[in-house]
Structure 1
Amino acid sequence: MNIAKRKILGAASELFLEGGIAALSVRSIAKQAGVSTIGIYSHFKGKEGILDELYIQGFELFMQAIKFDQEKLTAKEILLKAIHGYFSMAQAHEGHYRLIFGENDSRYTPSDEAKATAERAFGKLVKITALLLPKDASLALKQKNALEIWAFVHGYVSLKHHAIASIFPETDWYVLAEDAFAMHIDAILAKYAGAAN
């Protein structure tokens, strides 16, 4: 990716973080990035193209965050490491995170390519979270388990970003979430302890 495209995406991510989709216009992105509006259209075909690229990048960052060498790790260790990666991604790329997981609205509809990237990311999560289930678990059960875990973890990230977080100024949300998640993993493992893996 060339420097101009990186500048445009960086500017758009910053603006999104400051004011959501309402803060994004071709003119505001161009001003923030120090490029012409024509440059925006030539690189991305406008605001929708920028949002799609940020959306795709966000899910690619998510997939990178949960990808690591799993050899010699237990299922619980793999899940905890993946969740740690998820939290690191959410913190380091908050604008991307908010676009893909929380602050999307009717002014933006992801393209088919962006939706396909999101589906691939969910597939990776299903594969990792399925390690807690019996090997013969149905796809529906694997997807349900992944969705529950995703909602659980996303809830902590959302609370950290929410105004209510100021009520608990000393709280390390990620440590709190990892502790609670470890108990949740133990509960899932206990539920299926008798099943062959």
Structure 2
Amino acid sequence: MSTDSNNRQRILDAAHAIFAEAGLAGLSVRAIAARAGLSTIGVYSHFKGKRGILLALYADGFVRLGDAADIPAQSAGESDLVGLLVNRYIDFHRNHRAHYQLMFGMDRSQLGDSGTLEPIAKAAIERLAATLGRLLPADQPADLALAMAFRVWVLMHGYVTLGEMARFRMMDEAEWRAEVVGAVCQLLAGFKVVGMAQPKSNHGPLCC
């Protein structure tokens, strides 16, 4: 890795760590530079300031989310694809809370215009659609998987958001994850997807 690439990654790592610890209020160019062991000029030369860093973290978050949704065909058949997908989404939220807050919890006007931001999020949705598309009959319209992916994403996002509120956690972790899987299965049933089956248990990461 070149020095420039290495410094850029150091800046992003420092920014992510500060954002995770102190939120947006603690994320200043000076603090990022100090954490990365670089000058403020070095930060500006790579990202043109705080907005550029936030945009880079936003894009990185959606790449990571796309990675979570991108499940190779050989690693999961139709019978366990949904359970694996849901649990990977929940794990993404748990393991990358700062990214998640940046992606879904802040005013996007602080990051840039919609023309810059929308393709970043759409790329992650398309990777989710490619995975879920394996559950659709081959003769379905090409855009059906994308519509299905968007609805599944919204449903999973709703569950993990409510899961942050203690009053909505009236079950243990395994039961809660199973509830999310069951809800996604029910949603997918409306698309007449193949490979659907009833959950066999109320515990553990169930599959459809």
- Specify the TM-score bucket, using the shorter chain as the normaliser: 0.7 to 0.9
Residue from 90, 94, 111 that aligns with 2:93: 90
Sequence identity, in percent? 32
The reply to whether residue 126 of structure 1 matches residue 129 of structure 2 is yes
Preserved contact between residue 62 and residue 121 of structure 1 (Cα < 8 Å): yes
- CA 1:40/1:190 → structure 2, altered by over 3 Å: closer, same or farther? closer
Preserved contact between residue 10 and residue 36 of structure 2 (Cα < 8 Å): yes
Residue from 78, 85, 88 that aligns with 2:81: 78
Q: Please report the TM-score for the alignment, with normalisation by the length of structure 1.
A: 0.77
Distance 1:72 1:34 in 2: 41
Preserved contact between residue 8 and residue 40 of structure 1 (Cα < 8 Å): yes
1:103 counterpart residue number:
106
Range 18-27 or range 76-85, more displaced: 18-27
Range 130-139 or range 185-194, more displaced: 185-194
- CA 1:148/1:111 → structure 2, altered by over 3 Å: closer, same or farther? closer
1:5 counterpart residue number:
8
Preserved contact between residue 132 and residue 185 of structure 1 (Cα < 8 Å): no
2:161 counterpart residue number:
158
The reply to whether residue 24 of structure 1 matches residue 27 of structure 2 is yes
2:184 counterpart residue number:
184
1:144 counterpart residue number:
147
| Structure 1 residue 85: Cα displacement | 2.0
How many residues are paired up? 191
Q: Please report the TM-score for the alignment, with normalisation by the length of structure 2.
A: 0.73
1:54-82 C-alpha deviation (Å, 9 max, x unpaired): 12211111122222331374324122222
| Structure 1 residue 167: Cα displacement | 7.2
Range 57-66 or range 79-88, more displaced: 79-88
| Structure 1 residue 150: Cα displacement | 0.5
For 1:185, give the aligned amino acid: C
Distance 1:111 1:28 in 2: 28
Preserved contact between residue 15 and residue 23 of structure 1 (Cα < 8 Å): yes
SS of the residue aligned with 1:35? Answer: coil
Q: Which runs of 5+ in 1 are unaligned?
A: none
Distance 1:191 1:90 in 2: 26
Distance 1:82 1:97 in 2: 17
